[in-house]
Amino acid sequence: MTFRHPRAVARGNTAKTAEGIADALAPAGDGDLADFDPAEPRLADSSRASGVAAGGQSGEPIPFLPGISEPGRPASSARLAYVEVPDFPLAAILRAHPELQGRPLAIVSGSTHAVSRGPVAQRGDRAEGPAQVICASVEARAGGIVAGLGAARARQRMPEIVLQSPSPDAERSAQAAMLEVGFAFSPKVEDAGPGALYLDLGGTSGLYPSEAVVATALDTTLERLHLPCRVGVAAGKTIARLAAREVGLGVKVVPFGTERSFLASLPLALLEAPSQITERLQGWGIRTLGELSALSPGAVARRLGAEGMRLLRLAAGEDDPPFVSAFPPPLYEEAVSFDDWTVSTLEPLLVALGQVIEPLLERVRSAGLALLAVTVTLKLDPRGSDVRQLEFAAPLAQLEAIMDLARHELYLRPPPAAVASIRAVGIPAVPRAVQGHLFAPPEPTPERLAVTLARLHALVGEDRVGAPAIPADKRPAAIASLPFRPHPVSSRPAPGTGSRGGPLPGPILVARALRPPRVIGVRTTGDRLTAVLLDGQLHPARAVAGPFKLRDGWWTSEPVDREDYDVELFDGRLIRIYHDFKLATWFQDGVYG
Amino acid sequence: MTRDAFAGAPDALFTSAPDRLASLLPAISGLQRGSTLVCPDDQLLPTGLAGLDRALGGGVPAGRLTEIRASSGGHGSLLVSLAAQATSRGGAIAWIDPGGFLDIRAAQRAGVVLERVLWVRPQGVPQAVRAADLILGADGFGLAILDLASLPAGAWRTQRREPGFRLDGAAWNRLVRRAQLQGIALIVASDRDLVPGASALTLRVQLAAPTWRDGELEGASLEVSVLRRRGASGGFSGRFPLSLVSLAPA
């Protein structure tokens, strides 16, 4: 890729360009800095700032430098939002373990070893050794715990502090949650690394009255997911990022056309440059990005090398890598691991499962969806896993209902061993809106119905709960059932309209099926059936209808070949019997009434 | 729209409008006078036996327990008729059937909308009562049928094996309270006196007088007596013809 400076092109000064590039790429030497005059670049910049006319007056060609544009002029006019969760490892752990909210917590790095200290130590307390604090909660910071402090020192300063190492599982889940929120606002989202993302706000003007409203909505949504963030909106990635970092937590919008003035006043520290370079720049009296961008690129390249050039580009508001949209996350997943401990009883396991399901559900809800099923994988200690599939009769968006089903599932079949970690993958679905008809009876609420069905499954077994269906088997006592999902009526049903849409038949005589059929005996006189042997007693038949031949499934291994009869006994009973030719046996499979 | 919007229009426009609209009604599909709309009575669920419904003031009461005692059959046909009436109105029903007696094809031919039936087949009476308790705790069901009639002796014996379960007055009162809260008509069919004092309506049914024609069973009669009806005096007894559903597959 060729970087061309717009003004250099305008001048057509190609002869000096090669020299300028060589100038810029020359390695910086310490000796050069000794005689570096901060005034020199400013003078050079003042000539630059005056544009073509100034350059023409001085006669000095402006170096054709790669990637350096006019300060504060964005590389593109695309409006981007930068969303960042400060202290992301800390936020991810607080999201996964909400019980730690409000407690002094510090995330430590380095080689660690567990130190049992207090009730939270089981969760993976880390301390001592070379471990250092990466970030700390507000409560911990109030006690003097700051980044870079040794873990042992932190414990000394604040004995009640909870020290914890970063959790890759929690960070992965939190990052996925951020991306989902991003995709809920814009189809173009770039994953900018742990705790950060960019959104292309193009096209959102029709949905939101202003960029500030979009940014505030982003901020609010992530706050609801326990991910407090800062949002910057500007024309370009760098300016948006700097805008976000200018505010501690909250929203900052840089209106189009004001980028230069915005950047000029920003403190140098926002660039997060290496401390050595920052110190050098401060030694030259550079305090703001405006002052930095006024430096001569050539001089900066000579003295600070490639890193200095990068900082110069950033100070000018240029984007380093261009915006690249990511693909939407394919699934909703949350996980939690228990580090140095395991869960061996059901109630604590359910509490931990709730802490996994809750953020999962929040993510699904933020996309306007609900959960149709959740696959819970329990990693067992010391090895193996136990996978549970929680399927709901209707998409659920209520945590209580889902946990109710999970409780039933786990109480019915407890895990065979202690659980070391939990991973939950949700299958989202569009929530079922029940719009009952004004004049029709009320429908079962999907959520409550799902819970009721799950409890019934647990009580009597899944195969014994459902909606009856017409079986393919033509035998009268055959059974078929489907999942019970009554569809709401779309129009007012006319009373007296039956299952086939026509008028209801009058009251009919139905048989009650006997499952399984009972073996009986019969007495015949010639071809005529005269009595039935039931329960060891012979009952003379008053009237008999039949036979009704039933042949079915002759192509299968279980063909049906039988003759059915309706029989009225002298004691008043009306029964349905049949002769199975294959078994050469008589059965009763129904009684009328 | 107010009349002011038609300032200057002749009065005849207003006086004749209802009549003109009325003349248009037959031509406009789905449009009818408000006065002709019949709001379904939420309090009573028809049984499908016209004479019985008249005697009961419309049907069995919602939010109450109705007991159907059947010593020699007949209750199956009445239950199916109730289910057909409830589902044909767009309601969902629950059918708790520990004996697994429901004849699916016959129910469909009787007009039961099968997809609106939650069919639960518990194993034994304790499970059946617990299932009823769960269903009565859910909303949206208009009718719950607990069919405990003609159960084999083993279904009742399981009761003794469950120490925490007692099918006594307190258990029935709990079911009645839940049905009342949700407005569900709870029907309990049994061949014994199960729910003393808990039912708002007690019916006794009996199958009688089968009719035959040309060597085939044509139907029978269902004798229904109102044994008890809370808040009403005077009994009722009637006989209702039932026609047979053909055994031939649909």
Query: Is A137 in the same domain as A245?
Result: yes
| Chain B environment of A464 (Cβ under 8 Å) | 120-123
**Chain-chain contact of B49 with A564 (C-beta, under 8 angstroms):** no
Residues A280 and A386 in one domain: no
The helix/strand/coil state of B201 is strand
The reply to whether B145 touches chain A by the CB within 8 Å rule is no
Is there a contact between B118 and B92 (Cβ–Cβ < 8 Å)?
A: yes
Domain presence at residue A494: no
Q: A469-513: per-residue pLDDT in tens?
A: 988 888 888 888 888 887 665 555 555 555 555 677 788 899 899
A401 falls within a domain: yes
Where among A398, A429, A460 does a domain terminate?
A: A429
Co-location of A201 and A340 in the same domain: no
Cβ-defined contact of B80 to A508 (cutoff 8 Å): yes
What DSSP string describes B127-180?
A: HHHHHHHHHHHSSSEEEEEEE-TT--HHHHHTTTT-TT---SHHHHHHHHHHHH
Strand order in the sheet with B236-244: A481-482, A465-468, B117-120, B92-96, B141-147, B185-190, B65-72, B201-213, B216-229, B236-244, A508-509
**Chain B residues inside the 8 Å CB shell of A489:** 90
Please state, in angstroms and rounded to a whole number, the distance separating the CA atoms of residues B31 and A580. Answer: 57
Distance from CA of B126 to the nearest CA of A (A): 11
Co-location of A44 and A92 in the same domain = no
Interatomic CA distance for residues B243 and A507, integer angstroms: 7
Q: Which range among A184-198, A327-341, A443-457 has the greatest average pLDDT?
A: A184-198
Three-class SS of B56-89: CCCCEECCCEEEEEEEECCHHHHHHHHHHHHHHC
Q: Domain span at residue A338?
A: 332-429
Mean of pLDDT over chain A? 78
Residue A365's pLDDT is what?
85
Residue A19, pLDDT > 80, answer: no
The DSSP secondary-structure symbol of B5 reads G
Q: What ipTM was estimated for this complex?
A: 0.80
Kindly state whether residue A499 falls inside one of the protein's structural domains. Answer: no
Q: A128 and A250 in one domain?
A: yes
* Same domain (yes/no): A411, A339: yes
Contact: B222, A507; criterion CB under 8 Å: yes
Read off the amino acid at residue A283. Answer: G
Same domain, A197 and A287: no
Residue A375's H or E segment, with its range, is strand A370-380
Q: Which residues of B touch A568 (CB under 8 A)?
A: 210, 212, 217
Lowest mean pLDDT among A308-317, A551-560, B7-16: B7-16
Q: What is the mean pLDDT of residues A203-223?
A: 88
Residue A281 lies in a domain: yes
Cβ-based contacts under 8 A for chains A and B: 244
Q: Comparing C-alpha atoms, which of A343, A458, A482 is closest to residue A407?
A: A458
What mean pLDDT is predicted for residues A234-243? 90
Burial A97-131 (b: 16+ CB within 10 A, else e): beebeeebbbbbbeebebbebeebbebbbbbbeeb
Q: Is the pLDDT of residue A62 over 90?
A: no
Q: In chain B, what residues touch A441 (CB-CB under 8 Å)?
A: 40, 42, 86, 89-92, 142
Whether the pLDDT of residue B16 is over 80: the answer is: no
B contact test, residue of A455, A456, A510 with most B CBs within 10 A? A510
pLDDT higher than 50, residue A220: yes
- Residue found under tokens 């919602």: B62
Cα–Cα distance, A244 to A266 (Å, whole number): 12
Query: At B31, is the pLDDT very low, low, confident or very high (cuts 50, 70, 90)?
Result: low
Of the spans A115-119, A258-262, B152-156, which averages the highest pLDDT?
A258-262
Interface test with B, best of A499, A548, A551 (most B CBs within 10 A): A499
CB atoms within 10 A of CB A417: 17
pLDDT at A433: 63
Structure tokens at A506: 């009058």
Highest mean pLDDT, choosing among A43-47, A332-336, B193-197: A332-336
Q: A326 and A182 in contact (C-beta within 8 Å)?
A: no
* Candidates A435, A490, A534, A592, partner chain B, best to mutate (most B CBs within 10 A): A592
B114 touches chain A (CB under 8 A): yes
Contacts with A471 from chain B: Cβ below 8 Å: 104
pLDDT of residue B36: 47
Task: State residue B162's pLDDT score.
Answer: 67
pTM for this structure?
0.58
State residue B43's pLDDT score.
Answer: 78
pLDDT band at A248; cut points 50, 70, 90: confident
Answer whether residue A548 shows pLDDT above 60: yes
Higher pLDDT, B108 or A7: B108
Residue A135 pairs in a beta bridge with A107
High-pLDDT (> 70) share of chain A, %: 78
Q: What is the pLDDT of residue B165?
A: 72
Buried/exposed code over A242-267 (b: 16+ C-beta within 10 A; e: otherwise)? bbbbbeeeebbbbeeeebbebbbebe
Domain boundary among A429, A447, A471: A429
Average pLDDT over residues B109-113: 90
Average pLDDT over residues B225-232: 86
For the stretch A371-413, pLDDT in tens is 888 999 999 988 899 999 988 877 888 888 888 888 888 888 8
Q: Is residue A51 within 8 Å of residue A7, measured between CB atoms?
A: yes
Is A593 within 8 Å of B70 when comparing Cβ atoms?
yes
Of A532, A514, A530, whose CA–CA distance to A522 is shortest? A532
- A332 pLDDT more than 90: no
pLDDT at B24: 62
Q: Which residue of B has its CA nearest to A547?
A: B216
Task: Select from B37, B101, B115 the Cβ nearest to the Cβ of A467.
Answer: B115
SS3 readout for A263-312: HHCCEHHHHCCCHHHHHHHHHCCCCEHHHHHCCCHHHHHHHHHHHHHHHH
Closest residue in B to A497 (Cα) is B88
Any idea which fold B44-207+224-230 has?
Rossmann fold (3.40.50)
Nearest CB partner across the interface for A444, out of B77, B117, B141: B141
pLDDT of residue A499: 54
A121 and A173 part of one domain: yes
In a domain, residue A366? The reply is yes
What mean pLDDT comes out for the span B153-168? 71
Determine the pLDDT at residue A494: 56
Q: Are residues A181 and A92 in the same domain?
A: yes
Our count of domains for chain A comes to 4
Radius of gyration of chain A measured on its C-alpha atoms: 38
- Residue A421 shares a structural domain with residue A547: no
Which of A441, A495, A566 shows the shortest C-beta gap to B142?
Answer: A441
Element (H, E) at A522: strand A511-525
Asked if A82 and A185 sit in the same domain, the reply is yes
Q: Are residues A279 and A212 in the same domain?
A: no
The percentage of residues in chain B with a pLDDT greater than 90, rounded to a whole number, is 39
Does the structure show a pLDDT above 60 at B167? yes
The mean per-residue pLDDT over the stretch B98-125 comes to 92
State the pLDDT confidence band at A217, using cuts at 50, 70 and 90.
Answer: very high
One-letter identity of residue A218: L
Answer yes or no: is A502 within a domain.
no
Count of other CB atoms within 10 angstroms of residue A395: 20
Length of chain B as a residue count: 250
CA distances to A435, A443, B65, B188 from B143, rounded to whole Å, are 20, 12, 10, 11
Hey, which residues 185-224 in chain B have their CB within 8 Å of chain A?
A: 207-208, 210, 212, 215-217, 219-220, 222
Residue A466 lies in a domain: no
Cα torsion through A144, A147, A149, A155, rounded to 10: 60
More confident of the two residues A319 and B118: B118
Task: Identify the residue with better confidence: A301 or A437.
Answer: A301
The chain A residue lying nearest B218, using CA atoms, is A509
